[in-house]
Chains A and B, each alone.
Chain A
Amino acid sequence: MSENFEPKIIGFMCKWCTYAAADLAGVSRLQYPSNIVPIRLMCSGGLEPSYVIKALKEGADGVFIGGCHFGDCHYQTGNYHTNKRFAILQKLLEEMGIDKRRVRLEWISAAEGIKFARTIKEFVEEIKKLGPNPLKKEA
């Protein structure tokens, strides 16, 4: 593995919480790695498991999913569905021979810019330790 491996991480984030937290981190001028490519969703519950699988298949080194804390969902139950889908998806990925640590789910509210910056930093560190996604096509 090369010394300067910079992972590419796809972030699926709920517009009401984690995406707003990313905005807050930005306007607060918090420092965090630029490895994450944020994709805004109306709700983390709208995240199809196939998006995550597709991102990994296309060579993303990690997939980050950000949703609202339990009880905070703008649509009442979206994040509860995310939670259940994530649990089963993790089990499926493991069976399919993909390291489940490459997919991470966190609940981050719109007020938690600091938590967002810290989480991304931690996740990037973890993916750097795991190394590049073996599914990545040779450049």
Chain B
Amino acid sequence: MAKPKVAIYWCASCGGCEEAVVDLAEDILKVVDAVDIVLWPVAMDFKYKDIEAMPDKSILVSFINGSVRNSEQEHIVKLLRQKSQLVVAFGACAHLGGIPGLANVSNKKEIFEIAYKLTHTTVNPDNIYPQPVTEIPQGRLTLPEFYDTVKSLDQTIDVDYYLPGCAPPPDLIMKGVETLLSGNLPPKGTVIASEKALCETCPRNKTKPDKMVIKEIKRIHEVIADPEKCFLAEGIICTGPATRGGCGERCINANMPCRGCFGPTKEVIDQGAKFLSALASIIDANTEEEAKKIAEQIIDPIGLFYMYSLPTSILRRKQGV
């Protein structure tokens, strides 16, 4: 019997998810034994036209990482959806929009101006910006069109499963791959991780005081964090209460607070608003003035509350830009 076909594709991402696949170490041999990789631009030489020539639904599963922010990405993910039985959003950017999704505080014009004009190392006196189509004597040159708004994968195509994380940890990737290959499929829409918040499994949970009260909000680079204590109890912002667990507490064990890359748990529709709510309830402020003063200590609320999930939040982007 022919081995099942698998595609791995990247959209707007940093390459960390590709690295995570390589991080499977010896386990990757098991994966390669079990499947036939038909597309993996970062590691292997296949052409888009090979995929176009395949019959519909002939790929068992496409693992797609990165958010969708230009027309090429949109085209290829739609193609992969057509050719695949299953699509897995791989990593925080495909799942939630991710770090590239923070570009939704801006728009194409502003981003181009900074990237192609205002940075100190750029010299562009003729104001030349990338164009989707350029006519030159030799013919016509095309570039993908850059969009104003970054989207998560499921805002572009139908997605079957999600492997969360920035990047997804190797044990979850293996679990995901094994589950899909076993044919014993979980319900559509399943996020392959824990159903509980990170605090449930956090090794520092036992140091949490009965009544948590913070008078001052600290940022991790301003203090030296105690390696044992609950970050929130120390006043250091940690999004653990509003973030899905299952990541293996990699950041916590490196003495860094959670930033929310696993996204919200199933019941929550807006991770940032949920964390805002959780954070507010442990702040010690009894008057309107005190509350305002503490709110002022939150520098960059969008980056804090929606570091990975701005495109999948209720508002999706900054308004009016």
Q: Is A81 close to B, CB under 8 A?
A: yes
- Bitwise, A20-55 to B at CB < 8 A (1) or not (0) is 000000000000000000000000000011100110
Q: Is the CB of B314 within 8 A of A84?
A: no
Q: Is A96 close to B, CB under 8 A?
A: yes
Given A83-B291, A97-B321, also A53-B270 (CB < 8 A): yes
Question: How far, in Å, is A52 (CB) from chain B's closest CB?
Answer: 8
Q: Is A134 close to B, CB under 8 A?
A: yes
B contact residues around A135 at 8 Å (CB) = 319
- List A59-102 residues whose CB lies under 8 Å from chain B: 70, 80-81, 83-92, 95-98
Q: How far is the CA of A14 from the CA of B209 in the complex (A)?
A: 30
Q: Is B143 close to A, CB under 8 A?
A: no
Q: How many chain A residues have a CB neighbour from B under 8 Å? A: 26
Which of A87, A89, A92, A134 contacts B288, CB < 8 Å?
Answer: A87
Q: Is B276 close to A, CB under 8 A?
A: yes
- Bitwise, B278-314 to A at CB < 8 A (1) or not (0) is 0111010111100110111010111001000000011
Q: Is B204 close to A, CB under 8 A?
A: no
Which of B276, B302, B313 contacts A85, CB < 8 Å?
Answer: B276
Given A49-B277, A53-B273, also A91-B298 (CB < 8 A): yes
Most buried by A among B105, B272, B273, B292: B273
Which secondary structure dominates chain B's binding surface?
A: helix
Question: How far, in Å, is B263 (CB) from chain A's closest CB?
Answer: 15
B contact residues around A89 at 8 Å (CB) = 273, 276
Q: Is the CB of A84 within 8 A of B291?
A: yes
B contact residues around A49 at 8 Å (CB) = 273-274, 276-277
Q: Is the CB of A86 within 8 A of B291?
A: yes
Interface size class of B (residues with CB under 8 A): 20 to 34
Q: Is the CB of B298 within 8 A of A88?
A: yes
- Bitwise, A108-139 to B at CB < 8 A (1) or not (0) is 00000000000000000000000000110000
Which of A48, A97, A98 contacts B274, CB < 8 Å?
Answer: A48
Given A53-B270, A53-B314, A134-B319, also A88-B302 (CB < 8 A): no
Q: Is B219 close to A, CB under 8 A?
A: no
B contact residues around A70 at 8 Å (CB) = 286-287
Q: Is the CB of A81 within 8 A of B281?
A: yes
B contact residues around A134 at 8 Å (CB) = 319-320
Given A48-B273, A48-B274, A81-B280, also A88-B295 (CB < 8 A): yes
Given A50-B314, A53-B314, A88-B294, 8 further pairs, Cβ under 8 A? A48-B274, A49-B276, A49-B277, A50-B273, A53-B270, A87-B295, A88-B279, A134-B320
The 8 A-B residue pairs whose C-beta atoms are closest, nearest first, are A97-B319, A87-B291, A50-B273, A84-B280, A87-B295, A85-B280, A97-B320, A49-B273
